[in-house]
Amino acid sequence: MHQKTKDIQKRYDGFLQTNCLWKNDAMYNLNQFKIESKSTEIDVEINEKLRLGKYIERLVSFQLEQEESISIICENIQIQRDRITLGELDCIILKKEEPIHLEVIYKFYLYDNSVGETEIYHFIGPNRKDSLVEKLNKLKDKQLPLLFSKECIEYLKSINLNVNKVTQQVYFKGQLFIPFSNKNIQLSVLNQDAICGFYIHQNELNHFKDCDFYIPSKKDWIITPHINVDWLNFEDYKGVSKEYLAREFSPLCWMKLPNGKIKKFFYVWWT
């Protein structure tokens, strides 16, 4: 197996092992898509230049194609009005002959209880530029309603679908990270199993002087950490990571403890 194929396989397996952020329709009445996560050898080429969100969509497309009860009708359909794009449908599928408009989301969120008053509001992006609640609102108010626009209804007619027969679901997977200083957080709305690690501030790094570190590329944020990488010692990691923080970018990192265990964490630039 070529290295590129191995990389795709690791990412696909990591994607399959990622939990959905909530179960059933607990969030904003957004129904989670249900599909069994069966690991299989992936045999597709994926453009390495794709940003992570689009890369994930290719992995989902492959997963859907493995299911006998599912067929993909269309993917990445841009809905336009007077040559202006109103939005894009991720995909429309038939599952057991029932049409579903499916939106695919994969996100990384950090728990900060200084933001907002509720659990959903507490989760923000690693660089504080986005949040879980913003994404949920975008889904509810913009992405899903696009299906009922005049232009989209016309498109559906062109592929012999009646908008009233199409249900809407989200395939919302993600990784949640909690503060190093408060690792006993129990979630009441979101899926506790979606917690993948912790995050640390610059003043907490010295707790880990005896550890080794690795900073994966962004597409490898989704894979399960493993031992076979070029580890950095504490001093080297401190020097390399400083460049990320100077750009106000919080990298996802792996940490190998003295006992050999590997942890996943974000090293954040903000305080």
Task: Name the band, by pLDDT with cuts 50, 70 and 90, for residue 222.
Answer: very high
- Give the C-alpha separation, 266 to 103, whole Å: 27
Output the CA–CA distances (angstroms, integers) from residue 4 to 10, 45, 190, 221, 237, in the order listed. Answer: 10, 9, 34, 16, 26
Among 130, 158, 185, the domain-final residue is: 185
Domain that holds residue 263: 196-267
User: Does any domain span residue 131?
Assistant: yes
DSSP for residue 69: T
Percentage of residues in the chain having pLDDT higher than 70: 99
pLDDT at 29: 87
Task: Name the band, by pLDDT with cuts 50, 70 and 90, for residue 24.
Answer: confident
Would you tell me how many other CB atoms lie within 10 Å of the CB of residue 66? 12
DSSP for residue 229: S
Domain count, the chain: 2
Reply yes or no on whether the pLDDT at 39 is more than 90: no
pLDDT at 81: 92
Are 32 and 87 contained in the same domain?
yes
Are 107 and 207 contained in the same domain?
no
Q: For 221-240, what is the mean pLDDT?
A: 97
The string of pLDDT tens digits covering residues 140-183 is: 999 999 999 999 999 999 999 999 999 999 999 999 999 999 98
Among 185, 207, 236, the domain-final residue is: 185
Among 185, 220, 255, the domain-final residue is: 185
pLDDT at 3: 76
Summary mean pLDDT of the chain: 95
Nearest residue to 103 via CA among 87, 125, 85:
87
Q: Output 269 or 25, whichever has higher pLDDT.
A: 269
Are 128 and 249 contained in the same domain?
no
User: Does any domain span residue 133?
Assistant: yes
Reply yes or no on whether the pLDDT at 26 is more than 80: no
Q: For 72-89, what is the mean pLDDT?
A: 95
pLDDT at 28: 86
Are 21 and 69 contained in the same domain?
yes
User: Does any domain span residue 191?
Assistant: no
Reply yes or no on whether the pLDDT at 1 is more than 90: no
pLDDT at 94: 98
pLDDT at 233: 98
Concatenate the DSSP letters of all residues of 78-130 into one string: EEEETTEEEEEEEEEEEETTEEEEEEEEEEEEEE-TTSSSSHHHHEE-TTSS-
